[in-house]
């Protein structure tokens, strides 16, 4: 090798050095290769050259692609590439091979076919430097490409998450809208019901009810026709029609009932007329009601018909089951009011005591109506909330600790949980929530609960327990019963801002004929009585009359929801009990809850240890649910816990899956589905897999499998909406439990 510098052309050296400084301008490998090739191809003593890069063309040396290269994979950043034989062309005579490698990566070769060694020799070190520079530049670009790809992936991920957040927010929005609708419905019923309790005059009652319905329900018009028991026209009232109604009235007075009324009187269910303009030919007002649907329902009470309620409502509202049931309920309530007015006429309200009874009765009726309506709507929420809550949990799992979106999703989740809470309260008020009743000792439950009461009530309130030394058993859902006591205690606390005394008593009582005569609800027989009294501010009679109504509160906004006592009321009713309030302003309040005493050989229920960790498993679960989103959320939750999940969207699919599955340890099924009930699914699956356990899930149900909304003992049940955690625990509990529990 000649000493450096001697015989070297400074122009060529200058170019090589400048080229080295210029390399970094390229980001494309191909361009770097071309540049490199041109830099070395004309060098003194070099016959031909090639730059061999991954993905590029095979080296051509002297015009021919090299045969040795055919089987060579040029490494793309792989440092361990064929370490023994860096390049198959290296063995050729006069071949100079420069691996294009950095400390960490290997990207190919620079090959020179040297013709005149002497002339070429002085440049070799510079060519080597240039080759190194090329490798470094390729590596830098290699890293940059990967970074870019990672960024794209990250962005895709983020967009997906944003999409998720958007969807969830929209779902929540939908939930809120339904809540608003529910509120309006409740308000309408309340207005009508208040009217009913006030009205003593038939014509005024009908007139005002028309006005309320037209105003609050968005009906285009509403009218009533009152008829005598033998079907003769008696009176009519309307709202929203105006002068044109005179022609209807004239017709009525001639004894001609419009067709919709005749059909309603002949039918047990409401009559829906799709397009009044086309289908109510003879009716003088129908042509005014384009794009509406007509509704007509008979007003009946205790088998007696009082008339017909007719309305025209925007066509799209006529499909709404809630709207229809509201309509029927109002008709029923008004029939009751007409009945009551009749009664009033006949007896002139013989005694004051019976008047009070009457009011109690009306109150009970009213609660009944509101409850049924609230339950219907709350049920729909439950499915939505299940989806929202589980997806929030999943979205959170997918986000890193410090991710700023955690907060947004946590907000959604918390709002969702609050909504779930509210829904639960509505459901328990409407008595459609699934109870899991057990035979239990009320004293034991109170003693357990007693430990947490001081924290709830604060130190200014003394808690006194007066529990009967021996107390009969009751059948009730322990969680719900705790809710009853807590709600009563919290109200007592609110009534005693300056402190006071809370007394919780239990006693066995026998109710006799006399007691039952003096109260609207109640039954003769053995009861357990729970009394919760306080020394607080008390209530006047007006307040007492309303305390069990949902949303009735005297507390400032944000303090009270008005759902505490309505929840209590619902739970007690559903447990076949009843509740009374006694109070006077300034003299405290006493709530008495009566629950039927039961005699049972069963071991009374004891609370389980709550804080167990959530365990998964590898069992196979068949999940049957018709709502695809709820199904997806449940599947995901269960798979996360390690279970194998088979999915079916109804009875048919469940049959198929059960027939082909090797083993099914658990069937998790919705109760009410369009294609077949959960009970049928249970029978079909346990016929094929007798060892399978069955876990039902539902927001509520009136299905035959559940007796009056109360589960039969031995049937496992999980309430929607559930979080993945709740579902996971319940599944484990059922899988670990003793008997399989096929539906009775």
CA distance 731 to 735: 6
Least Å distance, CB 133 to another protein, is 13
Least Å distance, CB 560 to ligand ADP, is 3
Q: Which residues of 212-228 are buried (b: 16+ CB within 10 A; e: fewer)?
A: bbbebbebbbbbbbbbe
Residue 628 found at the interface with another protein (CB under 8 A):
no
What HEC string does 143-189 produce?
HHHHHHHHHHHHHHHHHHHHHHHHHHHHHHHHHHHHHHHHHHHHHHH
Number of residues that bind another protein (CB under 8 A): 25
Count the neighbouring beta carbons within 10 Å of the beta carbon of residue 45: 17
**Partner touching 31 among Mg ion, ligand ADP, another protein, none, CB below 5 to 8 Å by kind:** another protein
**Residue with smaller CB distance to ligand ADP, 366 or 689:** 366
Residue 137 found at the interface with Mg ion (CB under 5 A):
no
Instruction: Report the sign of the C-alpha dihedral through residues 480, 485, 488, 492, in that order.
Output: negative
Least Å distance, CB 411 to ligand ADP, is 24
Alpha helices in 596-689 (DSSP H): 628-640, 651-660, 678-688
Q: Which residues of 377-396 are buried (b: 16+ CB within 10 A; e: fewer)?
A: bbbbbbbbbbbbbbbbbbbe
CA distance 137 to 730: 59
Residue 48 found at the interface with another protein (CB under 8 A):
no
- Cβ-proximal residue to ligand ADP, closest one: 564
> Which of 1, 5, 11, 400 is close enough to bind another protein by CB under 8 A?
11
Phi and psi at 693, nearest 5°, equal: -90, 160
Least Å distance, CB 185 to another protein, is 59
What HEC string does 370-420 produce?
HHHHHHHHHHHHHHHHHHHHHHHHHHHHCCCCCCCHHHHHHHHHHHHHHHH
Least Å distance, CB 33 to another protein, is 7
Radius of gyration of the chain (CA): 40
**Partner touching 10 among another protein, ligand ADP, Mg ion, none, CB below 5 to 8 Å by kind:** another protein
Least Å distance, CB 38 to another protein, is 4
Residue 36 found at the interface with another protein (CB under 8 A):
yes
Residue 485 found at the interface with ligand ADP (CB under 6 A):
no
Give whole-number Cα distances, 396 to 413, 449, 607, 720, in Å: 10, 34, 32, 21
Residue 680 found at the interface with ligand ADP (CB under 6 A):
no
**Residue with smaller CB distance to ligand ADP, 361 or 552:** 552
CA distance 300 to 450: 49
Residue 425 found at the interface with Mg ion (CB under 5 A):
no
CA distance 547 to 566: 8
**Partner touching 323 among another protein, Mg ion, ligand ADP, none, CB below 5 to 8 Å by kind:** none
Residue 670 and residue 624 in contact, taking contact as beta carbons nearer than 8 Å: yes
Least Å distance, CB 423 to another protein, is 55
Options 213-221, 289-297, 486-494, 724-732: segment touching ligand ADP (CB under 6 A) = 486-494
Residue 33 found at the interface with another protein (CB under 8 A):
yes
> Which of 2, 7, 37, 458 is close enough to bind another protein by CB under 8 A?
37
First to last CA, the chain: 99
**Residue with smaller CB distance to another protein, 9 or 78:** 9
Least Å distance, CB 519 to ligand ADP, is 20
Least Å distance, CB 579 to ligand ADP, is 12
Q: Could you tell me the maximum CA-CA distance found in the chain, to the nearest angstrom?
A: 135
The 292-301 sheet, strands edge to edge: 233-239, 221-227, 304-314, 292-301, 271-273
Strand partners, 233: 227
In the three-class reduction of DSSP (H, G, I as helix; E, B as strand; rest coil), residue 614 is classed as coil
> Which of 491, 567, 669, 723 is close enough to bind Mg ion by CB under 5 A?
491
Near Mg ion in 536-575, by CB under 5 A:
564
**Partner touching 26 among Mg ion, ligand ADP, another protein, none, CB below 5 to 8 Å by kind:** another protein
Helices and strands (H, E) in the chain, number of each type: 21, 22
Near Mg ion in 159-188, by CB under 5 A:
none
Phi and psi at 608, nearest 5°, equal: -85, 170
> Which of 35, 339, 515, 580 is close enough to bind another protein by CB under 8 A?
35
Residue 570 found at the interface with ligand ADP (CB under 6 A):
no
Dump strand ranges (E) for 546-653.
578-583, 589-598, 620-624, 644-648
Residue 671 found at the interface with ligand ADP (CB under 6 A):
no
Residue 553 found at the interface with ligand ADP (CB under 6 A):
yes
**Residue with smaller CB distance to another protein, 18 or 523:** 18
Residue 4 found at the interface with ligand ADP (CB under 6 A):
no
The pattern of x and - marking residues 580 through 619 that bind ligand ADP according to CB under 6 A reads ---------x------------------------------
CA distance 238 to 285: 12
Options 26-34, 207-215, 301-309, 561-569: segment touching another protein (CB under 8 A) = 26-34
Near another protein in 339-378, by CB under 8 A:
none
Phi and psi at 526, nearest 5°, equal: -80, 135
Options 364-372, 431-439, 446-454, 490-498: segment touching ligand ADP (CB under 6 A) = 490-498
**Residue with smaller CB distance to ligand ADP, 562 or 604:** 562
The helix (run of H) or strand (run of E) holding residue 190 is helix 124-198
Residue 554 found at the interface with ligand ADP (CB under 6 A):
yes
**Partner touching 539 among Mg ion, ligand ADP, another protein, none, CB below 5 to 8 Å by kind:** ligand ADP
Near ligand ADP in 491-530, by CB under 6 A:
491-492, 495
Kindly list the residues in this chain that would bind ligand ADP in the complex (CB under 6 A).
487, 491-492, 495, 534, 536-539, 543, 547, 552-555, 560-566, 589
Contact set with another protein (CB under 8 A):
10-11, 13-15, 18-19, 21-22, 24-28, 30-39, 42
For binding to Mg ion (CB under 5 A), which residues are involved? 491, 564
């Amino acid at each position: 090798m000649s000493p450096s510098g001697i015989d070297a052309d400074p122009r060529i050296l200058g170019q090589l050095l400048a080229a080295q400084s210029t390399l970094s301008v390229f980001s494309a490998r191909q361009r770097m290769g071309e540049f490199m090739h041109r830099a070395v191809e004309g060098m003194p003593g070099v016959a031909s050259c090639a730059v061999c890069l991954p993905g590029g063309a095979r080296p051509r040396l002297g015009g021919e692609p090299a045969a040795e290269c055919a089987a060579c994979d040029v490494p793309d950043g792989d440092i361990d590439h064929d370490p023994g034989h860096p390049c198959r062309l290296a063995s050729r005579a006069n071949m100079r091979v420069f691996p294009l490698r950095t400390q960490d990566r290997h990207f190919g070769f620079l090959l020179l076919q040297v013709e005149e060694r002497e002339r070429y020799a002085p440049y070799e070190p510079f060519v080597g430097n240039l080759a190194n520079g090329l490798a470094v530049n390729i590596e830098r670009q290699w890293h940059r490409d990967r970074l870019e790809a990672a960024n794209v992936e990250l962005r895709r991920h983020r967009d997906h998450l944003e999409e998720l957040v958007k969807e969830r927010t929209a779902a929540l929005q939908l939930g809120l809208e339904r809540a608003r609708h529910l509120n309006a419905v409740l308000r309408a019923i309340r207005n009508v019901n208040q009217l009913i309790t006030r009205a003593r005059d038939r014509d005024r009652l009908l007139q005002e009810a028309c006005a309320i319905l037209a105003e609050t329900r968005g009906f285009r018009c509403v009218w009533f026709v009152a008829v005598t028991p033998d079907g003769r026209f008696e009176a009519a009232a309307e709202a929203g029609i105006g002068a044109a109604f005179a022609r209807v009235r004239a017709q009525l007075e001639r004894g001609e009932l419009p067709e919709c009324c005749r059909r309603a009187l002949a039918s047990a269910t409401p009559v829906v007329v799709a397009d009044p303009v086309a289908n109510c030919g003879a009716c003088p007002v129908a042509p005014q009601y384009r794009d509406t649907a007509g509704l007509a329902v008979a007003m009946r009470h205790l088998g007696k018909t009082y008339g017909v309620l007719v309305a025209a409502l925007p066509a799209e509202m006529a499909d709404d089951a809630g709207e229809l049931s509201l309509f029927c309920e109002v008709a029923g309530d008004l029939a009751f009011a007409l009945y009551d007015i009749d009664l009033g006429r006949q007896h002139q309200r013989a005694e004051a005591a019976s008047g009070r009874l009457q009011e109690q009765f009306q109150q009970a009726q009213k609660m009944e109506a509101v409850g049924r309506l609230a339950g219907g709507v709350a049920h729909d929420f439950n499915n939505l909330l299940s989806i929202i809550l589980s997806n929030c949990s999943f979205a959170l799992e997918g986000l890193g600790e410090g991710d700023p979106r955690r907060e947004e999703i946590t907000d959604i989740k918390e709002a969702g949980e609050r909504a779930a809470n509210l829904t639960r309260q509505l459901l328990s008020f409407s008595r459609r929530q699934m109870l899991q009743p057990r035979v239990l000792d009320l004293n034991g439950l109170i003693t357990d609960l007693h430990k947490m009461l001081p924290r709830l009530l604060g130190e200014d309130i003394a808690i006194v327990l007066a529990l009967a030394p021996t107390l009969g058993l009751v059948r009730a859902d322990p969680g719900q019963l705790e809710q009853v006591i807590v709600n009563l205690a919290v109200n007592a606390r609110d009534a005693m801002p300056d402190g006071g005394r809370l007394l919780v008593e239990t006693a066995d009582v026998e109710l006799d004929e006399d007691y039952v005569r003096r109260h609207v609800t109640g039954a003769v027989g053995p009861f357990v009585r729970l009394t919760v009294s306080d020394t607080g501010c008390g209530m006047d009679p007006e307040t007492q009359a309303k305390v069990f109504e949902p949303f009735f509160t005297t507390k400032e906004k944000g303090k009270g929801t008005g759902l505490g006592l309505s929840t209590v009321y619902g739970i007690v009713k559903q447990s076949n009990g009843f509740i009374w309030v006694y109070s006077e302003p300034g003299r405290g309040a006493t709530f008495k809850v009566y629950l039927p005493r039961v005699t049972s050989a069963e071991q009374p229920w004891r609370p389980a240890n709550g804080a167990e960790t959530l365990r998964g498993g590898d069992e196979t679960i068949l999940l049957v649910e018709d709502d695809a989103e709820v199904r997806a959320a449940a599947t995901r939750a269960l798979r996360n816990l390690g279970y194998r999940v088979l999915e079916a969207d109804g009875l048919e699919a469940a049959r198929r899956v059960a027939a082909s599955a090797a083993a099914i340890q658990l069937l998790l099924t919705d109760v009410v589905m369009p294609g077949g009930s959960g009970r049928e699914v249970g029978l079909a699956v346990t016929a094929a897999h007798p060892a399978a356990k069955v876990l039902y899930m539902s927001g509520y149900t009136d299905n035959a499998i559940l007796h009056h909304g109360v589960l039969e003992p031995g049937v496992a049940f999980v309430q929607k909406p559930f979080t993945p955690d709740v579902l996971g625990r319940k599944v484990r509990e059922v899988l670990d439990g003793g008997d399989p529990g096929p539906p009775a």
